[in-house]
Amino acid sequence: MLMNYTTEHIATDFLIIGGGVAGLRAAVELARNGDVLVVTKDAPSESSSEYAQGGVAVALSDEDEISIHFDDTIKAGDGLCIRKSVGTLVEEGPMRIRELIDWGAEFDREGTRLAFTQEAAHSKRRILHAQGDSTGHEIMRVLIDKVRSMHRATKIDFAFTKDLIIEQGACTGALIIQQKQQKVLFIHARAVMLATGGAGSLFERTTNPPVATGDGMAMAWRAGAELMDLEFIQFHPTALFLPGAPQFLLSEAMRGEGGMLRNIHGLRFMDDYHPARELAPRDVVTRAIHSEMLSTSADHVYLDMTHLSAEYVQKRFPRIYNTCKTYGIDITSAPIPVSPAAHYIMGGVRTDLWGATSIPGLFAAGETACTGVHGANRLASNSLLEGLVFGERAGIGLARYAARHRKGPLTMTPARTAAGSKREGVFTASDIEHVRTALRKLMWENVGIVRDRKGLSVAMRKLREWDRMIRNPPRDRDALELRNMITTSLLITSSALKREGSVGAHYRSDLPAKGKNWRKRIVMKK
């Protein structure tokens, strides 16, 4: 399959696959303990962390307490949060944010004090933001600068990780393809971390960048790792809906600052669905919008900011204001057409509190991982905090693992990858874009906001058909990425079928109650 490519073997102490907040925070930690190699499949800026607008939730204001943040997170998770994970997140979160500030992070302030806003399901104003609505960009800037200053971390961009290397039951590296250079890299490491982000691009409508194709989850599955809670997909209520425009996220903070949802007839409708109206939990708001669109035979609703001061809106949401203005909408004088979009996966590769997976030597953090901290529905703006807290912890976990298993020079001989043996059946290059488009439409319609057994079963049959066709894909990124999309879609759909009831973001119209065994986790393993 790779016979025309040159092969190179590289040894490092630590390999991090993915360059978002979790991966970079781990790199900072690991650079104190050895040489670190960070591999990304695209440009360094292409990650969900970079696009995060609303902010980072942390109990740092005078009116807030860690215990209140804990309670809000538990409540949003609809009974399925793992309490130890939540405790770790909210207790260590303030340390990680203060650390960022010490490293030069410039969060917005009111005078000399940090400025906090409120988002849905938070009982206090605890959302820190930067440049109004560019929080992820600011955190990434600081972490990139910090990693560069440590001199023991290097990066390889535009390099696709095909599979993990498994030797004697442990993960000892990864097989990397540099398509442009026609080169295959066998990266050998003492410990490996997955930080490849989420899987929003499996769906036709998503706020995620195109790189969010579930790669880490698919790789971990092929390697034999456990995955958990994959049925829980959070659909953000408000993404821009405009022909020719990107599915641009319209931050939760817009509703936190007073934005109102109206249907196509101009009627404010959230009073009919939840006492907290626009500040209800995300899954509630999303299903309310879905219901309103069905009842009015519309493909969108409106987010209305026109009752607020134009000067305030422009200052508080400059990126959103300018983006909408580019597409002909002045959000200070006209309501914004919006509809839901896939945003965040609560599940992922199952880990402990130090990022360790069920495979020795393999760790995970960020959206790729599942510590159980989000339960069935993530509390708004907890994801950047999760990347910081559990990225740092995973870094410590990798360093400890490497110290315990230090056995002289690293092996530099070819090793078995987790992909297994070749099988017949492959897509041609012309098939790939067609199937990718069809898959995203299938997942949106059958495994989206509202699900049922019939639709999920239809999706399973089609996904299995595609899976049989692409088990031996071409060597190019598009084909390998599509293979990962099919694998992760199958895992999500199978999990959604197994959870016979409705909890948090997972809503089954055929089984609207939680069901008898609703507290049981859905754990997937090859």
- Domain ranges in the chain are 237-341, 429-524
pLDDT tens-place string over residues 134-165: 788 899 999 999 998 988 999 999 999 999 99
What is the torsion angle, in degrees rounded to the nearest 10, for the CA atoms of residue 432, residue 438, residue 441 and residue 447? Answer: -90
The mean pLDDT of 465-487, rounded to a whole number, is 88
Q: Residues 237, 365, 352, 523: is their CA dihedral positive or negative?
A: positive
- Over residues 128-135, the mean pLDDT reads 81
Q: For strand 362-364 and strand 183-194, is the pairing parallel, antiparallel, or unpaired? A: parallel
Instruction: Check whether 405 has a pLDDT greater than 60.
Output: yes
- Fold (topology level) of 429-524: Methane Monooxygenase Hydroxylase; Chain G, domain 1 (1.20.58)
Residue 48 is predicted with a pLDDT of: 54
Whether the predicted pLDDT of 408 surpasses 70 = no
Q: Which residues touch 185 (CB under 8 Å, ≥6 apart)?
A: 7, 8, 9, 10, 156, 159, 175, 176, 177, 178
Edge-to-edge strand ranges of the sheet holding 127-128 = 56-57, 127-128, 116-117
Percent of the chain exceeding pLDDT 70 equals 93
Indicate whether 413 pLDDT > 70: no
Q: Is 282 a catalytic residue?
A: yes
Question: Which residues does 429 contact at the CB level (< 8 Å), separation at least 6?
Answer: 474, 476, 478, 479
What gap in Å lies between CA 212 and CA 49, rounded to an integer?
Answer: 11
Q: What is the pTM of this model?
A: 0.93
Instruction: Please name which of 420, 423, 519, 439 lies closest in space to residue 481, comparing C-alpha atoms.
Output: 439
Catalytic residue among 222, 282, 393, 436: 282
**pLDDT tens, position by position, 164-199:** 999 999 999 999 999 999 999 999 999 999 999 999
Q: Is the pLDDT of residue 415 over 60?
A: no
- pLDDT single digits (tens) 344-364: 999 999 999 999 999 999 999
Contacts of 382 (CB under 8 A, 6+ apart): 57, 73, 89, 373, 374
| Mean pLDDT across 12-25 | 96
Percent of the chain topping pLDDT 90: 80
d(CA 197, CA 210): 11
Stretch 64-74: mean pLDDT: 96
**Mean pLDDT over each residue of the chain, to the nearest integer:** 91
What residues form DSSP beta bridges with 192? 15, 362
Cα of 378 vs its chain's centroid, Å: 11
Write out pLDDT tens, residues 430-472.
789 999 999 999 999 999 999 999 999 999 999 999 999 887 7
CATH architecture of 237-341: Alpha-Beta Complex (3.90)
How many Å apart are CA 470 and CA 481, to the nearest integer?
11
Q: Is the pLDDT of residue 411 over 60?
A: no
